[in-house]
Chains A and B, each alone.
Chain A
Amino acid sequence: MPDMTREFLKPHFPWITLVALTIIVGLANPDFLSISGLISLMADVVPLLIMALGMTFAIYIGGIDLSVQQLANMVTVMTTVYLAQYGIGVALLVILAGALFGAVSGFVTTRLYVPSFVSTLAIGFIALSIAKWLSDQRALFMDATLRDIHFGWMFDTTMGVPHELVLGLVLVLLAWFLQTRTSFGRALKAVGSGELAAVASGLDVDRVKILAFCISGMFAACAGLMFSVKLSGGDAQLANGFLLLAIVAVLVGGTPLTGGVGGVINTLIGTLIVMVIRAAMVYLEVDATQQQMVFGIVLIIAIALTIDRSKLRGVVK
């Protein structure tokens, strides 16, 4: 009987962890639970959420995308450089660039048999080169008026809700729709849960994988765009530090690296868990030098709690 309860609860571990963490932090410091505080925390975490959403697709098929951080870096530079020329059209430009880079990663992984760990890392280096070239290796700043004309709407609020948060949720919905309501989403699941079986049943696995990396690239570009507008500038190192956090957000949400399980809603929860842990350290006044260590330890505990071991097929690599 306890086994059945466990089976039943398993898929729910990630959000239970999130709620429990929130309550614990809230009890320790009630200020944490103020609505406006939580909303601004969530608004801050939107670029990370978007990046993690894209990463989810790469991990869902059993791969990984290490290029997202460099893509976002490149996009911050592109946005800053081309804003004057294309206005809001720059959004289209950078998303296309993200898609292109993702597609190349996918192509290199599937057709040239380079593991995604290496191919995406290498493609990321190429994006970094372009970022350095475009920016002349300097930090660039946006024209404040142009930024407000074209992207000012992103940071307005409606009834206290920041638009960037709404944008983040729209992208979650879009990713969720792709994952659960389209034949592409089902193909993703098939590839993730058993690539050989997917090939055997006649699925064009290469195409599905290339598309997954393409989507990852597009989301990374969106994250970079938002980041750039938010900080009103671009730089080849602006988004550094986001890669590992994005991976962590996906994993803590309960999408294991073996693929086929989890998904974008898990990533939403995972991102929120990461947010709560990081914010908690500020609210609980953890010493600045100790924060990273505490983050690592809490992370191990969170992963141990959220991961669904039944889908690891007996082998824990």
Chain B
Amino acid sequence: MTGIAADGDASLGIMMRDVIVRWAPLLVLAFLVLLFPVFEWLEDFRAGQDHVYLLDSRFFSIRNASRIAVAATPGLMVAIGVTFIIIMGSIDLSMEGTVSVTAVIFAFAFLALGGTLAGWAWLAIPLAMLVGAAMGMVNGLIHVVFRIPSFMVSLAMGFVGTGLALVLTGGDRIRVEDELFRALLTVRWLNFPIMCYVALLALLVAWFIQSRTTLGRNFYAVGGGEELAQASGLNVTRVRVLGFALAGIFFALGALMAVGRIGIAETATGNNFMFISITAVVVGGTALWGGIGGVLNTMVGVLIVYVITNGMVVIGLPNWLQDGVLGALVITAVVLSTNRRSISFVK
């Protein structure tokens, strides 16, 4: 903040803009939440039915909020994982493979250990997280040891992951029907399934790692300027490998949530996570070039993406139109939450 004394008005202006940009993702989310009920109101208005805006909305209801939350939970876990990597200025595209592998290994271990959380099968949960961490670590090690950009390593590792899941399952679906495990979805506290609270807890842990630990601060140091971080004595290699391992753990959590939601683990469990998670991270205001943003931004970004998807279905937008509208809205959301003055160029 230069020239505070010289021109107070200008710096106030800059501060204002910073504040707006900072909160832009949340404003976009609020706008969307208020937007979809308008369409419902319009429809009933044209049909001549009574409709009180928001109160009579099917979209703006606890039941729908819980539906959005359940749909968003696995994606949120994956997006949190990749947030750490993006803060470092790298990227991780291996999530689809990692999610599939951890989901499949979890399901196999779960069934082999008795098939119920009441017995030893709970061990499958830490096992899945360990597998996720190991896959992330391999990712990170290849990235730093062979000096291959993370984009390429993780893309190829994604193929390996999906392939490994296919080898393990032979193309079969594995059902996890334990009632205790499925309670993640079936038991509700205050209208929301347990998995939403687990996700919230994971978000808190991620936020703690990001803002209250050395590792978290090191992610920002690496993302803000790798040479500088290296020069000031930071072991960048170690931070990177740990970052990828941490991301792997969150991908595994995403896999657990996905299995908990559908009750099935298969090679296709990981499908679609790549684009959704990275879109969500960017829409939330975390910059792809690193150093800016965080897991709370990602939470908002994930909600924006899933609110759009859900809202379009609720207001009855034709199926063929939904992809295009999602694309247009994503561009709009990113445009609104980008601080143009702070970027010199965009790749």
Interface residues of A (CB under 8 A from B): 62-63, 66, 108-110, 112-119, 121-126, 128-130, 132-133, 137, 195-196, 199, 205, 244, 247-248, 251, 256-258, 289-297, 299-300, 303-304, 307, 309, 312, 314-317
Contacts and interface: CB of A to CB of B under 8 A. Distances in A.
A312 B147 contact: yes
21 contacts: A115-B334, A117-B278, A117-B282, A121-B275, A121-B327, A121-B330, A124-B327, A125-B327, A133-B320, A199-B345, A248-B156, A257-B151, A289-B166, A289-B170, A292-B162, A293-B160, A295-B163, A300-B156, A312-B149, A317-B91, A317-B150
A127 to B, nearest CB: 8
A303 B159 CA distance: 14
Given A199-B345, A292-B163, A317 B282 contact: no
Contact of A116 (B148, B278, B327, B347): B347
B148 A290 contact: no
B296 to A, nearest CB: 20
Contact of B158 (A125, A296, A304): A296
A307 B324 contact: no
B345 A297 contact: no
B163 A291 contact: yes
B346 A113 contact: yes
A256 B321 CA distance: 35
Contact of B324 (A130, A248, A295): A130
B322 interface: yes
A129 B227 contact: no
Contacts of B330: 118, 121-122, 125
A290 B161 CA distance: 11
Nearest to B223: A317
Contacts of A109: 346
Given A117-B278, A294-B163, A317-B89, A112 B323 contact: no
Contact of B326 (A63, A125, A309, A317): A125
A225 B19 CA distance: 48
Nearest to A119: B331
Contacts of A295: 159, 163
Contacts of B90: 317
A292 B160 CA distance: 7
Interface in B271-300: 275, 278-279, 282-283, 288, 290
Interface of B: 89-91, 97, 142-144, 146-153, 155-164, 166-167, 170-171, 226-227, 275, 278-279, 282-283, 288, 290, 319-328, 330-331, 334-335, 338, 340, 343-347
A292 B44 CA distance: 51
A123 B91 CA distance: 21
A247 B149 CA distance: 14
Nearest to A135: B320
B282 A115 contact: yes
Nearest to A236: B320
B163 A290 contact: yes
A114 B143 contact: no
B148 A196 contact: no
A300 B327 contact: no
Given A289-B170, A292-B162, A316 B147 contact: yes
B225 to A, nearest CB: 10
Nearest to A313: B227
Given A293-B160, A293-B167, 7 more contacts: A123-B327, A125-B326, A129-B322, A129-B324, A290-B163, A312-B147, A312-B149
B159 A296 contact: yes
A292 B147 contact: no
Nearest to A104: B331
B157 A63 contact: no
A95 B21 CA distance: 39
Contact of B148 (A119, A132, A316): A316
B226 to A, nearest CB: 5
B155 A247 contact: yes
Contacts of B334: 114-115, 118-119
Instruction: Give the interface centre of B157, B159, B335 by most chain A CB atoms within 10 Å.
Output: B159
B347 A63 contact: yes
A303 B152 contact: yes
A316 B274 CA distance: 21
A296 B160 contact: yes
A133 B328 CA distance: 16
Nearest to B345: A195
B319 A137 contact: yes
B327 A314 contact: no
Contacts of B155: 244, 247-248, 251
A74 B149 CA distance: 32
A287 to B, nearest CB: 8
9 A-B pairs with the lowest CB-CB distances in the bound complex, closest first: A293-B163, A129-B324, A125-B327, A296-B159, A292-B163, A296-B160, A132-B320, A122-B327, A299-B156
